[in-house]
Amino acid sequence: MLRNYNKKGQKLPLFGVGPYIVFGMGALTLIGIILFGYVLKIGVLNFPWILIFRIAGVVLIISGIVIWFVGALRSDMDNNIESNKLKTDGIYAWVRNPMYSGWWIAFAGITLMWHNIWMLVLPFINWLIMTITLINSEEKWLSELYGDEYEAYKARVNRCIPWKPLI
């Protein structure tokens, strides 16, 4: 399970910038829901779009939770961090940041539940927040720590969107 401590010799923080990324994406999603759904009340779609958006939203929320769960609790990632080993198997062979991706996908699903056309911009802004933050923090740390091994991993595995591994 996740342990929030640094072992002697551990080179990376266990949680990194994750809580800040997730909080930022969650805050933006909440602001968008309040602004477009309740204050401005613009862009609201009607039937059959309500049903389509809500079905897609539920699928994305469930997918996001599963991706986060596998990345956070089933991947044994904390042991890799403690032993300074690059994790490239399991879900990490499909996406480099499954925990952040899971949250991002779930927030996109939550956004769809309001069936509002203007809120469709929120997942793209959240993706931008996540991408810029990861490029300027964790990807730099990992590149410095693992060098060519991490660069090769970056070349074959997507940062945010789970996808079949490139061989």
Digit-by-digit pLDDT tens for the chain (167 residues) are 344 445 555 555 556 788 899 999 999 999 999 999 999 999 999 999 999 999 999 999 999 999 999 999 999 887 887 788 999 999 999 999 999 999 999 999 999 999 999 999 999 999 999 999 999 999 998 999 999 999 999 999 999 999 987 66
- Supply the pTM of this predicted model: 0.88
Tokens of residue 66, six digits? 């599963």
Whole-number Å distance between alpha carbons of 128 and 35: 20
End-to-end CA distance of the chain: 31
- CB neighbour class for 83 (10 Å; exposed up to 12, middle 13-18, buried from 19): exposed
Distance CA 41, CA 52 (A): 20
pLDDT on residue 57: 98
The 3-state DSSP class for residue 113 equals coil
Three-state DSSP class for residue 44: strand
Instruction: Measure CA 13 to chain center.
Output: 18
3-class DSSP assignment, residue 157: coil
